[in-house]
């Protein structure tokens, strides 16, 4: 079996952690592309020089030439600019859509057999545009949001209940924005409903609900909480970990059930849009979207989130993409 190849488009904050994690877990040979001259070469040289210490023997290389991504099995995209002072949402959408269009054309040309995980914001729009420009089948183009948002939710529940986060299962669906939908009803600790444990802890249903609501709100705003503390950028360790978990599920054909920004064909009543839903990830990418019954409140929240996504896509189309 030949070694797998992972191409990273964008060698910024998240790209750097992706390269290090992919190397340390020996997922395959890593190529990091960025438009900034020398920077991806410098970052990957730094990572490669730790190989003796960390004990990995995959190759880690940086490049400014798309030719070097040829033959990639997985492409993870973080290319794009963050919002700068004075920049409107439309300005950012236009800038990043231009970048994503170029990225998609090059991935199509140089890595036509790859499976693509997109991280760049605004996520739901960037995934949609990549699929449109590349013409790749929907199962081979997905976005990362839910794995991270769910991990944040699980982390807050674990802290609140004083249990290991390894035993907490929690899922967040919907678009990657303030309208995301943490599914409280199914949040559990090794199968025991988290709400039941909160009620036991506080001996009061109303108080338990209030504490859960606080965790739901913190999850929705978790990206902003990190931005506020960092002041010069957004979260980068955890988004990289999330995308690596998705890449592993694909490379090792794990059939993991993860919340993924996936193309919907009528599932959850949505047709022709990318939305965060549980899906089976394996060697064919998004192999199956898993539908389940939502109660009325969850359904209303998901509809609201889908509306935010359709508005975003309409904005992008209005801007000519
Ligand atoms: O969960 C999620 N999906 C996210 C998404 C969580 C956190 C941050 N999220 C978004 O990821 C964030 O809003 C950004 O749109 C991306 C990447 O975040 P990162 O923190 O890595 O941004 P950087 O450090 O600014 O890196 C972006 C890199 C930088 O090195 C640029 O030189 C490069 O993108 N860039 C390009 N690469 C290739 N091709 C082109 N055209 C290009 N333009 C800029």
144 by DSSP, 3-state: which? coil
pLDDT of residue 84: 76
Q: Report the CATH number of the 145-321 domain.
A: 3.90.110.10
Q: 208-213: long-range contacts (C-beta < 8 A, 24 or more apart)? A: 211/160, 212/184
Report, as residue numbers or ranges, the catalytic residues.
Answer: 176
What's the pLDDT tens digit per position in 224-259? 999 999 988 899 999 999 999 999 999 999 999 999
Question: What are the residue boundaries of the structural domains of the chain, listed by start?
Answer: 5-144, 145-321
Q: Residues of 212-244 as b/e, b for ≥16 C-beta within 10 angstroms? A: beebbeebbebbeebeeeeeeeebbebbbbbbb
What's the pLDDT tens digit per position in 56-95? 999 999 999 999 999 999 999 999 997 777 777 778 899 9
For ligand 1, whether the C-beta of 241 sits within 6 Å is no
For ligand 1, whether the C-beta of 82 sits within 6 Å is yes
In degrees and rounded to multiples of 5, residue 130 shows phi and psi of -60, -45
Kind plus residue range of the DSSP H or E element containing 239 = helix 237-251
- Name the residue with the closest Cα to ligand 1, atom 38: 34
For ligand 1, whether the C-beta of 115 sits within 6 Å is no
CB 62 within 8 A of CB 45: yes
pLDDT of residue 168: 98
For ligand 1, whether the C-beta of 148 sits within 6 Å is yes
pLDDT of residue 1: 65
- The one-character DSSP state at 25 is T
- The fold of the 5-144 domain, in CATH, is Rossmann fold (3.40.50)
What's the pLDDT tens digit per position in 175-185? 888 899 999 99
* Distance of CA 217 from the midpoint of ligand 1 (Å): 25
* Distance of CA 202 from the midpoint of ligand 1 (Å): 42
Q: Which of 81, 79, 98, 93 is nearest to 15 (CA)?
A: 79
Residues of the chain falling short of pLDDT 50: none
Q: What pTM was estimated for this model as a whole?
A: 0.98
Alpha-carbon gap, residue 150 to 141, rounded angstroms: 20
* Distance of CA 214 from the midpoint of ligand 1 (Å): 30
Locate the ligand 1 atom nearest the alpha carbon of residue 233 and give its number: 20
Alpha-carbon gap, residue 286 to 147, rounded angstroms: 14
**Per the omega criterion (within 30 degrees of 0), is the bond before 122 cis?**
yes
Alpha-carbon gap, residue 173 to 52, rounded angstroms: 41
Alpha-carbon gap, residue 270 to 276, rounded angstroms: 11
């Amino acid at each position: 079996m030949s070694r797998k190849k992972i191409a990273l488009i964008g060698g910024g904050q998240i790209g750097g952690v992706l390269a290090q994690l992919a190397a340390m877990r020996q997922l395959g040979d890593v190529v990091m592309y960025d438009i900034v001259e020398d920077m991806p070469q410098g970052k990957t040289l730094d990572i490669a020089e730790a190989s003796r210490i960390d004990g990995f023997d995959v190759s880690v290389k940086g490049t400014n030439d798309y030719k070097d991504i040829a033959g990639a099995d997985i492409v993870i995209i973080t290319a794009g600019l963050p919002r700068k002072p004075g920049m409107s949402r439309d300005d950012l959408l236009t800038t990043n859509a231009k970048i994503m269009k170029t990225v998609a054309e090059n991935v199509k040309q140089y890595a036509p057999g790859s499976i693509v995980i997109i991280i760049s914001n605004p996520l739901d729009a960037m995934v949609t545009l990549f699929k449109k420009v590349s013409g790749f089948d929907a199962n081979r183009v997905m976005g990362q949001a839910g794995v991270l948002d769910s991990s944040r939710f699980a982390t807050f529940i674990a802290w609140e209940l004083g249990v290991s986060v390894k035993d907490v299962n929690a899922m967040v669906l919907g678009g990657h924005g303030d309208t995301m939908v943490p599914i409280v009803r199914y949040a559990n600790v090794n199968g025991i409903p988290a709400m039941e444990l909160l009620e036991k802890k506080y001996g009061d249903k109303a108080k338990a609900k209030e504490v859960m609501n606080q965790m739901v709100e913190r999850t929705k705003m978790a990206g902003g909480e990190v931005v506020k503390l960092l002041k010069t950028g957004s979260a980068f360790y955890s988004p990289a970990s999330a995308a690596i978990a998705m890449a592993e599920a694909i490379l090792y054909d794990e059939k993991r059930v993860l919340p993924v920004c996936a193309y919907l064909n009528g599932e959850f009543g949505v047709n022709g849009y990318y939305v965060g839903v549980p899906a089976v990830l394996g060697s064919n990418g998004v192999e199956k979207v898993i539908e389940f019954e939502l109660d009325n409140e969850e359904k209303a929240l998901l509809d609201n989130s889908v509306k935010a996504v359709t508005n975003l896509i309409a904005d992008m189309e209005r801007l000519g993409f």
